[in-house]
A = this chain, B = another copy of it.
Amino acid sequence: MTDKQPTDYGAFGAKTSVVALTVSYDGAGFAGFARQQGQLTVQGELERALALLFRHEVITVGAGRTDAGVHANGQVVSFELTADELAQRSFEKLRTSLNALTPEGLVVKSIEEKPAGFSARFSAIQREYRYRIVYGPVPPLFLARYAWWVPGDEPIDVHAMRQAAEYLVGEHDFKTFCVAKSAEGQTTMRRIDSIFIFGMQHLGEHSLVIQVVGNAFLHSMVRVIVGCLVEVGLRRRPPEWIEEILLARDRRAAAQTAPAHGLTLWDVRY
């Protein structure tokens, strides 16, 4: 602390800067993103590491509150530091320290300074989720932890899934696709910008990726959407069924929620 730090106003009322971490994690190791007493959570572990480094409580904000089991490739987590704390160490050093202090299954990929007022949650304009499915008679091996295995012998009808997905693009009331308890008294209007379904190979295994991009998502929304699209892919429902259940505005109209381990919070745009 020296008087050469013009933005340092001392411990109380210090001028602060916003820092954003880009974080990846394997959902299997955590009881979700959001801090919970007595549970291993991503937010809890990051805040514990930050408190150790900066010797005071650090409150973080995440772009998406992923559920237990859901992975993240590019979760964004923001918090405030004083200008003095910011000057103490380089972001490279900070990243190394955080990666040394956080548990396996959680990696801080990059760190950036953001403009005042930035919030990983409220400044986000677009979120991308990807859901991986392995379809066929043989279960995935290397993808077992990162894809939902849907057994089947006949080809899955990707064309019908794409047709069905089109009904969801745009601004809609997604009440059907929301786990009921979290919808109480809050708007269930959301905007989906695109849903693309494509094949991809990872670690030598083929998967079907459902990429969903939108402004924000309701609780379990992507997983309920995937559960319904798979019903269509398996020819148990026609593509138009998706429009019908969307208009029903009732969770009971939809199919089962696809399992958490197939889902990854892929990217957040600001």
Contact = CB atoms under 8 A, between A and B. Distances in A.
Interface residues on A, range: 20 to 34
A10 interface: no
A138 B73 CA distance: 13
A256 interface: no
17 contacts: A24-B142, A24-B204, A73-B203, A73-B204, A92-B137, A95-B137, A95-B138, A99-B139, A105-B141, A107-B138, A107-B139, A107-B140, A108-B138, A109-B138, A142-B146, A202-B202, A203-B203
A266 B26 contact: no
A18 to B, nearest CB: 22
A26 B99 contact: no
Contacts of A24: 141-142, 204-205
A96 interface: yes
Interface of A: 24-26, 71, 73-74, 92, 95-96, 99, 104-110, 137-142, 144, 146, 202-205, 264, 266
Contact of A264 (B105, B108, B204): B204
A141 B26 contact: yes
A266 B201 CA distance: 14
A140 to B, nearest CB: 8
A210 to B, nearest CB: 15
A132 to B, nearest CB: 9
A106 to B, nearest CB: 8
A204 B71 CA distance: 11
Contacts of A141: 24-26, 105-107
Contacts of A138: 95, 99, 107-110
A99 B26 CA distance: 26
A178 B182 CA distance: 60
Contacts of A95: 137-138
Contacts of A99: 138-139
Given A26-B142, A204-B264, 18 more contacts: A24-B204, A25-B141, A71-B142, A73-B142, A92-B137, A95-B137, A99-B138, A99-B139, A107-B140, A107-B141, A108-B138, A109-B138, A110-B138, A142-B146, A146-B203, A202-B202, A202-B203, A204-B266
